[in-house]
Amino acid sequence: MSKAMEPDLQTPLGRTSGQAAKEWSHPSNHWLRGFVLDNRASLGTLAVFIVMMAVFIIANPTVFTTWYLYSSVLTTLPVALFVVVPLVFVVTCGEIDLSFPATMGFASWVFALVVQAGYDPFLGIAAALVTGTLLGFLVGSLVVYGGLSSLIATLGMNFLLRGLIQIINEGKSTALTNLADSRAYAIFSSQLFGIPVQIFWAIAFVVFSALLYNRHRFGAQVKVVGDNPDSAKQMGIDVKLVRVKVFVFTGIGAAIAGTFSVMINFTWWPTAGDGYLLPVLASVFVGGTPTWGGIGTVVGGAIGAVTVSFIQTGVVAAGLSGFYVQFFNGLIIILSLLGHKWNQARYR
Amino acid sequence: MSERIIELRDIKKSYGQVYALGGVNLSVDRGEVVGLIGDNGAGKSTLIKILSGVVKPTSGDILVRGKPVTGWSAARSRDAGIETVFQDRALAVQQTIVRNIFMGRELTGFMGWLKVNKEIEEASRLMREIGFTSKVFTPHSIVGQLSGGERQGVAIARAIYKQAELIILDEPTTALSLTETAKVFHFVRQVRASGRSILFIGHNIHHVFDIADRFVVLDRGKVALTADRSEVKSAEDLINFMEDVAHPGGLPGLHEDAEQRA
């Protein structure tokens, strides 16, 4: 080896360390550019939503000025938001949870049973939350401590739990007519200034979860575990516990979502939650959370949920027949994925 | 005489019938950079694992600041102020520098909420301490955007947090370009300047020669040579010595080579 090949080891960075201290600066000192760079995924999702809405509105401007259209979306959207947001955590952690529809059904069933038995709906909500927590823990433990693939194990749990509900109820629904007069209904499912009150709870949940994701130890550890589990373990993080926690969080979110869906309809169906599986999963990925784990965006996921729930309403309102809904669902998903692919680089 | 941070006395480690280490003596003083050199299979990795407490020696004594310790473990090693930067660069590359530095020991306040500003402050301080600053990135930068040498910088910054007194760098320059190697050396010098000790493990004798105050050559589980920098004239001396150790009879090709160089 010749000496000429050796690096200049004495002044490696071409400067002395004394002056180094003052050299911190962001790629751009302008706050707006920094904001855009930090939030590019969710801003991309927002752009998709705005373009989609613009197309719908141009197609039929008058329908989109009626409040009823938005009111109906704002009633059902919150149910989706309560599961989309925890799923962002799950996907960031490098897992997937397909069992949340059954958890929604199971927890809301417990809620319905408690209310039907004549107890206060608040007690029913508490019971549903406990059920959701336990089911989340069960599913999480199965995946993490049982060492199973989360894709298959949660799919299995979804069938298993839904099957249990069906076996016991034999397809019969439960009507909860006394719910309308309760205080719980007034707080969680009435209207405020003509706006469905659920949306305020959902927004509060999204804001809380976004803080949890970005400003809390839980969110920090979820991201690290999804990014590099070996490294996380080496640095003393209980990787398995963090993984179980994201499933518990999903269980809790599903319990809230299920309860809200029952309160909207005053009826619990044995199929409660079933229709949410694919739209909710689509919302997470349309929202800009990549499939490979480590990163994600809660706010993006929420905007993704808004986008997905406006597709159906928008297609019909724009004057197209219902047959176009699936086509547009697919189109938006594919376009969003292409957009995110271009928008964010994957670091290895 | 300066304080002795850690001393290994007659450390043996066997896996079944095979001796990975056959009685190794090694010590590191405060503020000293020790270069540990050895071929593949010489026992370097085993020695590092013993120092960081991951592996327990079969026999031998470990002394921390002159006092013998019992029940040596990874936790005890950390308590003694020994931090290891492992070869595989254990970083989460999609996360920011701050998140990597505080991985597993997030600075939190009430109910586990992060003290974001304090973390940034601390991360900046650590990175300044090892001379790891730049116009193009901040503690918020994603580790995946950094070069190999800069990533080592993040790993080193993470290691010196919490009053680490001895940093073990396991082949930190492997697979790095010359400029990137230079960056790592820059960080290592800053760590030494802060009064911490370093155990630098390397394949490349030139690299180790440039950075170390003292050399320890390991060969087939034994220390073949311990030499102060003043005793070794050049990296070629060390290379020749290692060739002699490896092939006592001498390999014709190798020796002709060495003679031509000298």
- B138-147 residue pLDDT tens: 888 899 888 8
pLDDT (tens digit per residue) in B82-135 = 888 876 667 999 999 999 999 888 898 888 999 989 999 999 888 888 888 777
Is residue B92 within 8 angstroms of chain A, CB to CB?
A: yes
Residue A152's pLDDT band (boundaries 50, 70, 90)?
very high
A143 close to A150: Cβ distance less than 8 angstroms: yes
B211 neighbourhood in chain A, CB within 8 Å: 9
pLDDT digit string, tens, across residues A257-303: 999 999 988 899 999 889 899 999 999 999 999 999 999 999 999 99
Residue-level pLDDT at B153:
86
Check CB contact of B94 with chain A, cutoff 8 Å: yes
Interface test with B, best of A15, A224, A249, A295 (most B CBs within 10 A): A224
pLDDT for the residue A151: 94
A62-89 average pLDDT score: 89
Distance from C-alpha of B76 to C-alpha of B69, rounded to nearest angstrom:
9
Report ipTM (2 d.p.): 0.82
Interface test with A, best of B87, B89, B95 (most A CBs within 10 A): B95
Q: Are the Cβ atoms of B136 and A27 closer than 8 angstroms? A: yes
pLDDT the model gives residue A79: 94
Mean pLDDT value of segment B73-81: 82
Q: Which two tokens stand for residue A48?
A: 């998709």
Chain A residue with CA closest to B182: the answer is A12
Q: Is the pLDDT of residue A18 over 80?
A: no
The beta-strand segments (E) located in B53-186 are 59-64, 67-68, 82-85, 166-170
- To the nearest whole percent, how much of chain B has pLDDT over 70? 92
pLDDT number for residue B118: 92
Q: Do B103 and A237 touch (CB under 8 A)?
A: yes
Provide mean pLDDT across the span A215-242. Answer: 92
Residues in chain A: 348
Chain A residues near residue B139 by CB distance under 8 angstroms: 24
Does the beta-carbon distance from B183 to A13 stay under 8 Å? yes
Q: Does A294 touch chain B (CB under 8 A)?
A: yes
Of residues B154, B108, B94, the one with CA closest to residue A93: B94
Query: What is residue A161's predicted lDDT score, i.e. its pLDDT?
Result: 95
User: Nearest-5° angle of CA A120, CA A123, CA A126?
Assistant: 155
Q: What's the pLDDT score for residue A344? A: 78
Contact of A169 with A106, CB cutoff 8 Å: no
The pLDDT of B67-84, averaged and rounded, is: 84
Selected residue with higher pLDDT from A29 and A71 = A71
* Chain A, nearest residue to B258 by Cα: A1
In this complex, do B185 and A232 lie within 8 Å of one another by their Cβ atoms? no
Whether A220 sits inside 8 A of B106 (CB atoms) is yes
Residue B254 has pLDDT above 70, yes or no: no
Residue A9 has pLDDT above 80, yes or no: no
Tally of CA atoms within 13 A in the half-sphere of A188 that contains its CB: 24
Query: What number of CA atoms fall less than 13 Å from residue A211's CA on the CB side?
Result: 10
Residue B248's pLDDT is what? 64
Asked whether residue A16 carries a pLDDT value surpassing 70, the answer given is: no
The CA distance from B48 to B153, in Å, is 20
What H or E segment, with its residue span, contains residue B10? strand B4-15
Q: How confident is the model at residue B243 (pLDDT cuts 50, 70, 90)?
A: confident
Q: Which amino acid is at A314?
A: G
Q: Considering all CA atoms of chain A, what is the largest pairwise distance in Å, rounded to the nearest integer?
A: 89
Q: Hey, which bits of chain A come out as E strands?
A: 174-175, 191-192, 195-196, 267-268
Q: Does A27 touch chain B (CB under 8 A)?
A: yes
Closest chain A C-alpha to B112 CA, distance in angstroms: 6
Q: How far is CA A106 from CA A135, A270, A271, in A?
A: 9, 9, 10
- For the ranges A40-49, A218-227, A319-328, B202-211, the maximum mean pLDDT occurs at A218-227
To the nearest whole Å, the CA of A222 is away from the closest chain B CA by 11
The amino acid that residue B67 corresponds to is K
Please report residues of B whose CB lies closer than 8 A to that of A234: 86, 90
User: Which CA distances in Å does B24 have to B7, B51, B54, B165?
Assistant: 10, 12, 17, 22
Read off the pLDDT of each residue in B153-175 and give the average, rounded to a whole number.
85
Shortest Cα distance, chain A CAs vs residue B249, angstroms: 23
- A-proximal residues of B, 21-80, CB under 8 Å: none
Tell me the longest C-alpha to C-alpha distance in chain B: 70
CA of A35 to nearest chain B CA: how many angstroms apart? 12
- How much of chain A exceeds pLDDT 90, in percent? 52
Residue A316: its pLDDT value, please?
A: 83
- The answer to whether the beta carbons of residues B56 and B40 sit under 8 Å apart is no
CA-based angle B37:B39:B41, to the nearest 5? 120
The model's pLDDT over A80-105, given as tens digits with 9 standing for 90+, comes to: 999 999 999 999 999 999 999 999 99
Q: What is the pLDDT of residue B250?
A: 55
Q: Is the pLDDT of residue A252 over 50?
A: yes
Mean pLDDT of all residues belonging to chain A: 86
CA torsion angle B205 B211 B213 B219 (round to 10) = -20
Q: Which of A111-115, A281-285, B193-197, B238-242 has the lowest mean pLDDT?
A: B238-242
Nearest to A137, CA basis, from A275, A23, A24, A247? A247
Q: Fill in the DSSP letter of residue A268.
A: E
CB A41 within 8 A of CB A340: yes
Residues of chain B positioned with their CB less than 8 A from the CB of A13: 131, 182-183, 186
The pLDDT assigned to A280 comes to 94
A20 interaction partners in chain B (CB closer than 8 Å): 128, 131, 133
Q: What is the pLDDT of residue A202?
A: 95
Most confident residue range from A71-75, A278-282, B158-162, B240-244: A278-282
Interchain proximity B128–A1, CB inside 8 Å: no
Dist CA A49 CA A321 (whole Å): 21
Domains of chain A in start order, with CATH, are 44-337 (1.10.3470)
- pLDDT classification of B16: cutoffs 50, 70, 90: confident
Mutate to test the interface with A, among B78, B110, B116, B133 (most CBs of A within 10 A): B133
Cα atoms found within 13 Å of the Cα of residue A111, Cβ hemisphere only: 35
- Of residues B252 and A40, more confidently modeled: A40
Alpha carbon of B179: minimum distance to chain A alpha carbons (Å):
7
Residue with tokens 């939350």: A129
Asked if pLDDT for residue A343 goes beyond 60, the answer is yes
Q: Do A224 and B206 count as a contact with CB atoms less than 8 A apart?
A: no
Minimum mean pLDDT range among A214-218, B153-157, B160-164: B160-164
Handedness of CA B124, B127, B133, B135 (dihedral sign): negative
Measured between CB atoms, which of A20, A232, A294 is closest to B104? Answer: A232
Question: For residue B190, is pLDDT > 90?
Answer: no
At A202, is the secondary structure helix, strand, or coil?
A: helix
Interface residue B183 vs chain A (CB under 8 A): yes
Chain A nearest CA to B252, separation (Å): 18
Three-state DSSP class for residue B164: coil
What part of A 225-284 touches B (C-beta under 8 Å)?
Answer: 227-228, 230-232, 234-237
Mean pLDDT of B175-183: 82
Domains annotated on chain B, with CATH: 4-231 (3.40.50.300)
Residue A345 DSSP label: P
Nearest CA distance, B133 vs chain A (angstrom)? 6
The top-scoring range by mean pLDDT among A157-161, A167-171, A315-319, B35-39 is A157-161
Is residue A160's pLDDT more than 90? yes
Is A346 near chain B, with CB under 8 Å?
yes
